[in-house]
Amino acid sequence: MEKIRNSLSYRVVEVTFLASTISIILLIIASVFNFYDIRGNESNVIYSIQLALKDNALLYQSPESFPFNISQYAPLYYVVNDCLISLLQIENTEFYTIRILTRLSSIVALIIALIYLKNIFQSVLKIPNRTSLILCFLFLIVSFPWFNISRPDVFVLLFYILSIYHLLLYCANKTSQKHAVFLGVFLFLGIASKLTMGFYFIPFGIYFLVIRDYKLALISSISFLFSLGLFYLLLWLLDYNSTYIIENILDGVNNGYNLSKAMTKSYLTFANYYSVFSIGLILLTIESFIKWKDERED
């Protein structure tokens, strides 16, 4: 099978994919300091963090009162960055510095997520190292538009991967209940970052019902509720006012829905971008074929 790997066509695909991945890594690094990069509704997120830096009670205000701001996401991303920036004694008026720091926090979360993703592929699922790297690079390509900017999506990604990681470890050793506890904690931290994490609860719920592992469901549920109570207590101790939290994160933004606009403005652009992704899929398919042939020959 080394003959396939040494062939010109394989080398072209491999080098193209590697070059594309390196280019995206360089873009991520460059975008941290690009003043003109305004992707992903960052200004709204950063402005909410600026308000929290001024006074924690200002994070969730009435959208109908001045300054008519909507902090549209769940608290965790705001709170983590508020605490980190406060420790560095950055003033709330230093918008550009705050954006750099919040983007760096997102990149750190992305790196941790990729490390655990590779651990899942290689250590838990026993996927070969080369194939695991390709899968992680594919994931990095997909993640580029959203997970390296000042948005809470990367926290959802991180805590979802950690939830899967601990579920798999629990399945491998059901006597180790700490993984069931961590599952509940990370599921909560995901939804405390952004409510869309709720959609990702569905696979776990299906697993609980199909496998009928009620012990896992009970432990993780208790852990989830305990984390919720502890987080709410933390918000109260730090004087984050939650009076208008529902008005902000549930009722605050109604973006509407326009399929034709979504096709032309978003999906078409993504289709062009993900042409790089298809190169990785080709490489992954070849690697899978080589592994299959090696196993047959053995």
Per-domain boundaries in the chain: 2-284
List the structure tokens of 73: 């996401």
**Distance in angstroms (rounded) separating the CA atoms of residues 33 and 149:** 11
pLDDT tens string, the chain, 298 residues long: the values are: 455 555 555 566 667 777 777 877 887 888 787 777 766 567 889 999 999 999 999 999 888 888 888 888 999 999 999 999 999 999 999 998 999 999 999 999 999 999 999 998 888 888 888 778 878 887 887 777 678 888 999 999 999 999 999 998 988 887 778 999 999 999 999 999 998 888 888 888 887 888 788 888 899 999 999 999 999 999 999 999 888 888 888 876 665 555 566 556 555 655 555 555 556 555 655 565 556 556 555 5
Question: H helices then E strands: how many in the chain?
Answer: 14, 0
- Do the Cβ atoms of 152 and 77 come closer than 8 Å? yes
List the structure tokens of 75: 């608290």
| Type of residue numbered 249 | I
Quick check: helix, strand or coil at residue 45? helix
Q: Count the alpha carbons within 13 Å of 264 in the hemisphere toward its beta carbon.
A: 3
- Do the Cβ atoms of 148 and 30 come closer than 8 Å? no
pLDDT in tens, 205-223: 887 888 788 888 899 999 9
> Which pLDDT score, from 0 to 100, does residue 18 have?
75
Buried b (16+ CB within 10 A) or exposed e, 148-185: bbbbbbbbbbbbbbbbbbbbebbeeeeeeeebbbbbbb
- Do the Cβ atoms of 118 and 133 come closer than 8 Å? yes
194: left (phi over 0), alpha (psi -120 to 50) or beta: beta
> Which pLDDT score, from 0 to 100, does residue 256 have?
53
> Which pLDDT score, from 0 to 100, does residue 279 have?
60
Taking the CB of residue 252, how many other CB atoms lie within 10 A of it?
Answer: 17
List the structure tokens of 171: 């399945």
> Which pLDDT score, from 0 to 100, does residue 267 have?
54
> Which pLDDT score, from 0 to 100, does residue 171 have?
85
